[in-house]
Amino acid sequence: MNIMKLDKYSAKIEYDSELDQFRGEILGLNGGADFYGKNPQELRREFKKSLNVFLEICEEKGISPTKDFSGKFNLRVSKELHNKIAIEAASEDKSINQWVVDALSKSIEHRL
């Protein structure tokens, strides 16, 4: 997956073969906003325009532009993986929750 950043916002970039253009979708918004461009410069320019329009609409309507997350989510794994995670967490004197948070944090640091 290709990510383009603008300030604190990120967009997923994909190629649309039907339009022969790149399509960007701004992630983490409290609604949808996308944009198109034929090259990186055009994509970045359209990203900025699309984001500005989205932010203006949110301000007019008095809504938050970004999603609010609770910090909680359920995760289902196999019994075998659960056991391995429990052993790893215990070996590091951590709770399973803290071990998973640390693992996810390390993983995401390389991507965003």
Domain range for residue 31? 2-61
Residues 85, 46 share a domain: no
Residues 89, 57 share a domain: no
Q: What's the pLDDT at 109? A: 82
Regions of the chain short of the pLDDT cut 50? none
Phi-psi region of 95 (alpha: psi -120 to 50; beta: other; left: phi over 0): beta
Q: What's the pLDDT at 112? A: 59
- The domain total for the chain is 2
- The model's pTM: 0.76
Q: Is the dihedral of CA 50, 55, 60, 63 positive or negative?
A: positive
Contacts for 33 with CB less than 8 Å, ≥ 6 apart: 25, 26, 50, 51, 53, 54
Q: What's the pLDDT at 53? A: 97
**Token digits of residue 107:** 């993983």
Q: What's the pLDDT at 111? A: 66
User: Is residue 29 domain-resident?
Assistant: yes
